[in-house]
Amino acid sequence: MRVLVEAEVGAEALKTLKFQRGVGCSHCNATGYRGRIGVFEFLEMDDALIRALHSVDPTAFSDAAKRQPGYRNLRRSAIALAAQGYTTMAQVMRATFGLDD
């Protein structure tokens, strides 16, 4: 996980980065989270993605999506939110467990 965090925020920022830990209170039902924030993978459909989608080959579509400029997978998006203090690394790990990078 350290490698993914370093890739997302950079080696220098990682040295001073402090992650949040949910404590819980009566307002959040002892979960440590107040409100919700969505984490998404957003793909702008271009010709390559449309062709891959029509090929009915999930691997081809996934590969085409990863080649999109600025593509960032769900786990990296969640790590960025944890680095900004919007969620915890524990929640990132729970939400992205089992996902391929």
In order of 72, 74, 100, the CA distances from 17 in angstroms are 20, 20, 25
Question: For residue 81, what pLDDT band results from cuts at 50, 70 and 90?
Answer: confident
- Quickly list DSSP for the chain: -HHHHHHHH-HHHHHH---B-----TTTTTSS--S-----------HHHHHHHHTT-HHHHHHHHHTSTT---HHHHHHHHHHTTSSBHHHHHHHHTT---
Answering whether pTM is above 0.75, one says no
Question: For residue 44, what pLDDT band results from cuts at 50, 70 and 90?
Answer: confident
- The residue among 7 and 50 whose pLDDT is bigger is 50
Question: For residue 58, what pLDDT band results from cuts at 50, 70 and 90?
Answer: confident
- Is residue 13 predicted with pLDDT exceeding 80? no
